[in-house]
């Protein structure tokens, strides 16, 4: 891993048309590059509104291949600015086969690798199983010129197993592009509990694995497309960059547009792993039941 790297995350609204959202993201990538950033992370499915609030086959028209128009544009931006970009795209792999896919562009503009979202939710307002096939690329870090990036997507962030497997495979940073928000019908107290849980579980991934975490969420209210889908989702922002002890290095509130920035030093991660040797003390011979759905 380059030492240190300047990592950024773009917290932005994504409620406009594809070109407007892409232009906004690119503007913020330029802003990150002007601040000498090595890495910029964009929110989950930042090219458009969150279309999974209902089940509508017309939304499949939003998908595109990889490589495709969006990746060609972002590839050119990465090369021009000499910056690593993490984007997520509604991937059309084949007719009838679609994924929620993170794409990593290296500083020379090439696609360094992909990660297809593994855990697919199916909840009111988040009907992702209708659109996305679970990923088949595993929990494999993506090798770049600045280090190995352990990229996962949104719902994956709740699972310690994915974070651990990325760390065991050599990830230098855990990265979670995200689209998560509140149901406006819930109480303010419930909103706060959900937000606290979301932040806590990801900071715990940093602590348990001794490496930084970048969590990048969208912001803004997005109206439900029909009454059956509910009121809509208020995306709660609160993006953050945490260090290897879970310490918050930079964060945003629930509504601000912001390019979060932090210097991440691999020497610090190494030192934290030496004083908290969780990898050394894992009782791997006793963990076989983790591959079972449930222990009856």
- Which of the residues are catalytic? 44, 117, 154
- Of the candidates 30, 114, 20, the one whose C-alpha atom is nearest the C-alpha of residue 8 is 30
Contacts of 168 (CB under 8 A, 6+ apart): 279
Torsion of CA 9, 132, 17, 87, to 10 degrees: 30
Q: Give me the sheet containing 248-251, strands edge to edge.
A: 142-144, 147-151, 173-177, 213-216, 240-242, 248-251
Answer whether 100's CB lies under 8 Å from 153's CB: yes
b/e map 286-295, b = 16+ CB within 10 Å: eeeeeeeeee
How far is it, in rounded angstroms, from Cα 273 to Cα 171? 13
- Of the candidates 202, 187, 182, the one whose C-alpha atom is nearest the C-alpha of residue 254 is 182
Terminal CA-to-CA distance of the chain, rounded, Å?
43
Q: Which helix (H) or strand (E) holds 192?
A: helix 188-209
């Amino acid at each position: 891993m380059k030492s240190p790297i300047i990592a950024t995350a773009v917290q932005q609204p994504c409620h406009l048309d594809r070109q407007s959202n892409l232009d906004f993201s690119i503007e913020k990538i330029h802003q990150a590059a002007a601040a000498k950033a090595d890495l910029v992370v964009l929110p989950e499915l930042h090219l458009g509104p969150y279309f999974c609030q209902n089940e509508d086959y017309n939304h499949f028209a939003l998908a595109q291949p990889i490589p495709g128009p969006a990746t060609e544009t972002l590839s050119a931006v990465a090369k021009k600015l000499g910056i690593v970009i993490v984007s997520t795209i509604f991937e059309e792999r084949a007719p009838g086969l679609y994924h929620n896919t993170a794409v990593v562009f290296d500083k020379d503009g090439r696609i360094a690798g992909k990660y297809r979202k593994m855990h697919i939710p199916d909840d009111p307002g988040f009907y992702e199983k209708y659109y996305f096939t679970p990923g088949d690329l595993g929990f494999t870090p993506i090798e770049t010129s600045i280090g190995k990036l352990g990229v996962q997507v949104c719902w994956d962030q709740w699972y310690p197993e994915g974070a651990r497997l990325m760390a065991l495979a050599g990830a230098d940073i855990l990265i979670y592009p995200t689209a998560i928000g509140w149901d406006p019908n819930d109480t303010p107290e419930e909103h706060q509990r959900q937000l606290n849980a979301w932040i806590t579980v990801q900071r715990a991934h940093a602590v348990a694995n001794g490496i930084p975490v970048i969590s990048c969420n969208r912001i803004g209210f997005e109206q439900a497309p029909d009454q059956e889908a509910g009121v809509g989702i208020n995306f709660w922002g609160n993006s953050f960059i945490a260090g290897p002890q879970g310490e918050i290095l930079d964060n945003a509130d629930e509504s601000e547009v912001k390019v979060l920035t932090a210097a991440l030093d691999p020497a610090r991660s190494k030192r934290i792993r030496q004083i908290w040797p969780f990898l050394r003390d894992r009782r791997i011979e006793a963990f076989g039941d983790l591959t079972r759905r449930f222990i009856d």
